[in-house]
Amino acid sequence: MSKPLRIGVAGLGTVGGGVVRLLAENGDLIAARCGRRIEVVGIGARDRTKDRGFAVDKFAWFENPVDLAASDIDVFVELIGGEGIAADAVRKALATGKHVVTANKALIAAQGAELAAQAEAAGLTLNFEAAAAGGIPIVKALREGLGGNVVTRVAGILNGTCNYILTQMEETGRPFADVLAEAQALGYAEADPTLDVGGGDTAHKLAILASLAFGTVPDIAGVYTQGIERISPVDIAFANEFGHRIKLLGIAAMTPRGLEARVHPAMVQLGTALADVMGVLNGVVTESGAAGTSVFEGRGAGAGPTASAVVSDLIDIARGFRLPAFGVPSGALVKADRAPLGEREGTFYLRFDVLDKSGVLATIARSLADRGVSIESMIQRGRSPDEKVAIVIITHDAREADVIGAIKAIEAAGAVVEPPCMIRMERL
């Protein structure tokens, strides 16, 4: 058996601790599969005294992750997160001849192309399976399994916190704020949940998947991002009535207008693959030439699934298997034009809260018609002139800019008592 692969793990939170434990528990199995042992020789975190379920004094301890990156190791495992000290440590590791494995979606989405170029120039590996969809091997699927295909679209539920919240809202009828508080109490949501519920976490992951799918430079700034904060039980109930379910989706497609990358709540038809992904699970659907539609589902976060993804990257390195980080040499990554979202065509769910007065419905219908937006179906609930009632409309295919223009005109006409709700309907 070859000499061990010596690794240093920076960051001993949920994922880092999970990696150390998984390598200890399955060490013999992993060694048999890759022909050498993978040994943790150095670790580092902010607090050495914290109980992590294993003895930290068995390993060399580094206060500074940059020092760990430059130490006598073969692979630097970066599980700190963010773009500050984590980026400095990754660059130091590559500069001193260390392979890098990371779960840092923010870093890869923002600086992945530059880091990939640095790794390739040094003949090193930069792996990041754990940076998107946790335990689902979607990075390998796009980079390797679908390598012979022209991928046309990637769509997925990439944040377990949001999926849990939307699932609970549907099952219990409770409002967003109540379910978010429960998710925080259960540890599914952070004390500051903005990155999750605001769509930022999904956007980072989508930027990575789009790069892998289309051979483009990761472009986090080009991802349209909208969260789930305004989704109400009313909208969820109407979605079910129309045979749909609301999910926070990340969708990327290469179009004649450029790369379309967007994160937002969407209605997906009941009985389809992503509609049936519930709770904290993630799901990804890819559409490609020879392979057609492929569906991936699994746990997207947590110690076990994410540690599993990190270890799979380590096994590739231990086996001597190396590919360009994004599936093509970094110099071949192209900077894609951004497709204007307003030019996209699709169907839309629109909810207008109005007072039940004469002429209100006519104003709404006229504003839509003036912009070429036709109505497929409509529901009006309530018959009280003194209380607000909901008018819900499903459109035929329409240009997004026209729908938004109609909504603004309806608001300007004073036809609504609250801001209208628009949710895109996706065919997946």
The CATH number that applies at residue 371 is: 3.30.70.260
In one-letter notation, the amino acid at residue 297 is E
- Does residue 189 belong to any structural domain of this protein? yes
- Does residue 419 belong to any structural domain of this protein? yes
Shared domain for 244 and 295, answered yes or no, is yes
Lowest mean pLDDT among 182-191, 346-355, 384-393: 384-393
Shared domain for 354 and 403, answered yes or no, is yes
- Does residue 337 belong to any structural domain of this protein? no
CB 5 within 8 A of CB 75: yes
Shared domain for 54 and 100, answered yes or no, is yes
Residue 131's pLDDT is: 97
- Catalytic-residue membership of 205: yes
Which secondary structure element, helix H or strand E, spans residue 304, and what is its range?
helix 303-318
What phi and psi values does residue 396 have, to the nearest 5 degrees? -75, 175
Per-residue pLDDT for 215 more than 80?
yes
Shared domain for 154 and 284, answered yes or no, is yes
* Strand 60-61 with 126-127, pairing: unpaired
pLDDT category, 302, cuts 50, 70, 90?
confident
List pLDDT tens digits, range 395-422.
999 999 999 999 999 999 998 999 999 9
Beta bridge partners of residue 156, listed in sequence order: 250, 284
Which secondary structure element, helix H or strand E, spans residue 161, and what is its range?
helix 160-172
Per-residue pLDDT for 383 more than 70?
no
Shared domain for 223 and 351, answered yes or no, is no
At 54, which CATH number?
Answer: 3.40.50.720
Last residue of a domain, which of 265, 299, 333? 299
pLDDT category, 110, cuts 50, 70, 90?
very high
The residues near 190 (Cβ < 8 Å, ≥ 6 apart) are 184, 196
Distance CA 43, CA 53 (A): 14
Residue 384's pLDDT is: 64
Per-residue pLDDT for 328 more than 90?
yes
What is the rounded average pLDDT of the residues 289-316? 93
Shared domain for 154 and 194, answered yes or no, is yes
At 162, which CATH number?
Answer: 3.30.360.10
Per-residue pLDDT for 222 more than 80?
yes
Residue tagged active-site, from 98, 140, 205, 247:
205
- Does residue 79 belong to any structural domain of this protein? yes
In one-letter notation, the amino acid at residue 157 is I
Residue 53's pLDDT is: 84
pLDDT, averaged across the chain: 95
Residue 54's pLDDT is: 87
The residues near 123 (Cβ < 8 Å, ≥ 6 apart) are none
* Strand 421-426 with 258-269, pairing: parallel
Shared domain for 355 and 420, answered yes or no, is yes
Residue 356's pLDDT is: 80
pTM of the model: 0.95
Shared domain for 150 and 294, answered yes or no, is yes
Q: Is 328 helix (H, G, I), strand (E, B) or coil?
A: coil
pLDDT category, 147, cuts 50, 70, 90?
very high
pLDDT category, 385, cuts 50, 70, 90?
low
Per-residue pLDDT for 382 more than 80?
no
- Does residue 28 belong to any structural domain of this protein? yes
- Does residue 102 belong to any structural domain of this protein? yes
Which range of residues forms the domain containing residue 154? 144-299
The residues near 11 (Cβ < 8 Å, ≥ 6 apart) are 44, 45, 65, 78, 79, 80, 81
What phi and psi values does residue 378 have, to the nearest 5 degrees? -150, 145
Shared domain for 124 and 157, answered yes or no, is no
Share of the chain above pLDDT 70, in %: 99
Per-residue pLDDT for 392 more than 80?
yes
Which secondary structure element, helix H or strand E, spans residue 370, and what is its range?
helix 360-370
Shared domain for 169 and 289, answered yes or no, is yes
CA proximity to 104, closest of 125, 126, 128: 128
Structural domains counted in the chain: 3
- DSSP structure string for 98-141: -EEEE--HHHHHHHHHHHHHHHHHTT--EE-GGGSSTTS-HHHI
Shared domain for 419 and 371, answered yes or no, is yes
Shared domain for 148 and 295, answered yes or no, is yes
- Does residue 20 belong to any structural domain of this protein? yes
* Residue 371, both tokens: 């912009």
- Does residue 335 belong to any structural domain of this protein? no
Per-residue pLDDT for 188 more than 70?
yes
What is the rounded average pLDDT of the residues 331-342? 97
